[in-house]
Structure 1
Amino acid sequence: MNGVFENKKAIVIGGSSGIGLATAQILANSKAHVTVTGRDADKLKAIRETTNLRAQPVDSNDRAALDAFFKQTGAFDYLVISLSGSKGMGNFTELSLQDLRAGFEGKFWPQLNTLQAALPYMNNGGSITLVTAISSVAQKPGTSGLAAINGALELMVPVLAQELKPLRINAVSPGVVDTPWWSFAPEEAKQQAWQQLTGNIPAGRVARAEEIADAIVFTLGNSYLTGTVIHCDGGFSC
């Protein structure tokens, strides 16, 4: 992919930390002009002060704010939507359906909101990558709600590839990744969960955000890849 991103414009929605930020940094190192968005003003300020990335506050639940952001940004080439939430996990018999609804509000609807708002500004030959999660296919206890959220997004990808051509659209589905997504859990509980989740997978460990970002950048740059969901999960779904 030598030179494929040079002087191209890329936007990473949800790029103020974790997988999104790692993706933005790889793209910037490949000489793309990169803008990241987020809702945490402190994180965005730190990005502006310590990197060559543009950083702008945008709430992807707010369609008017998204429309204004993309209008201001203008035409661009690459879009990564790395938005998530921590709601929707748990055994179904005890799962609060209000929490599951909040899970859809935190990931499913903001991703679609962003995608619709961005489309009028994408250049021919552009590429889109959604970040989902391996819960969509892993069939693990306690993840039925997460499977519903991420599976819904992934089922749309091949259909959207037909509808949006010649734009390309793909998804990357990560497994267990060391990112701020886990900030809802105390450190001891997080480490215990990681040990349980990764003990039987071939990779035998939690992923780094940069490893998932590598897969995302591949989907953006490979001009023959569309309508595809790539599982970057260390074998978690085997």
Structure 2
Amino acid sequence: MTDQQRFQGRRVLVAGGSSGIGEATAARFAADGARVVITGRRETALKAAADRIQARTGRDVEAVRLDAADRAALEDHFAAGTGYDHLVLALGGAEGGGPVAALDLDSLAAGFEGKFWPHLRTLQAALPHLREDGSITVVSAVSARAAMPGTAGLAAINGALEAMIGPLAAELAPLRVNAVSPGVIDTPWWSGVPEDQRRALFDQFAAALPAGRVGRPDEVADAVAFLAGNGYTTGTVLEVAGGAHLAKG
């Protein structure tokens, strides 16, 4: 079976599929033959992502407005569907960063509300509707392990997600549970930073990373597809971070 056929006919839900890593992941699954549903809170952004994926791959994806903070809406969505083979949790969050001495704990709590709890709510609601030998892939972040100053709060959020991967893989087997842990990826997550500052930051990261550059969403999507498609990989956190935890030189 070729890569282009690997997910032929499989149903895949990408939660957080309206931009960035989630959109790239949905496009990868669609190109590989899957029937893909993308969810998110903003209907306009979801439709725009679906249009971009169709233009890129020639395949349609279904865009469903779904707030991962609304447990009742999540349960209604999964109860009304026909089930899924693979679930990707790529729900982003931008709060919780900054030096710990001045870290706003309300911002950190909002960071957990924006990423950790939506991942867990979606996972719980989806479980009865996932194929027994399918997969769940969580998109965390390398801040969980990279020990970068100013990221203690982000490390707490993403570290909490990553700490669950092994226990969930053991508890939910034969359903496979893995995570992809991206480093600095050029996505709309950075859109709040002015262009000149963003380029300067990316240049700094590139100089510090063994890979010599920041990452691309497609590279993370490749890792998600690998974990979903490899039936002998579970309980794994796969880092896609250009060597962020390594000392260069």
Question: Shorter-chain TM-score: what band?
Answer: over 0.9
- Correspondence for 2:96: 88
Residue 49 of structure 1 deviates from its aligned partner by: 4.0
Gaps of 5+ in 2: 55-59
* Structure 1 segment 10-159 matched on structure 2, within 5 A: 10-50=12-52, 51=54, 52-159=60-167
Q: Does residue 9 in structure 1 map to residue 11 in structure 2?
A: yes
Measure, in 1, the Cα distance between the counterparts of 2:49 and 2:206: 31
Q: Is the 8 A contact 1:131 1:173 kept in 2?
A: yes
State percent identity of aligned pairs. Answer: 51
Cα RMSD for the two superposed structures: 1.1
Measure, in 1, the Cα distance between the counterparts of 2:197 and 2:108: 22
Measure, in 2, the Cα distance between the counterparts of 1:217 and 1:183: 26
Matched residue type, 1:14: G
TM-score for both structures, normalised by structure 2: 0.93
Residue 196 of structure 1 deviates from its aligned partner by: 2.2
Measure, in 2, the Cα distance between the counterparts of 1:78 and 1:106: 22
Q: Is the 8 A contact 1:86 1:184 kept in 2?
A: no
Matched residue type, 1:18: G
Q: Does residue 225 in structure 1 map to residue 233 in structure 2?
A: yes
Residue 84 of structure 1 deviates from its aligned partner by: 1.3
The farther-off stretch of 189-198 and 11-20 is 189-198
Residue 48 of structure 1 deviates from its aligned partner by: 4.2
- Correspondence for 1:171: 179
* DSSP-derived class of the 1:177 partner: coil
TM-score for both structures, normalised by structure 1: 0.97
Measure, in 2, the Cα distance between the counterparts of 1:73 and 1:126: 16
Measure, in 1, the Cα distance between the counterparts of 2:169 and 2:42: 32
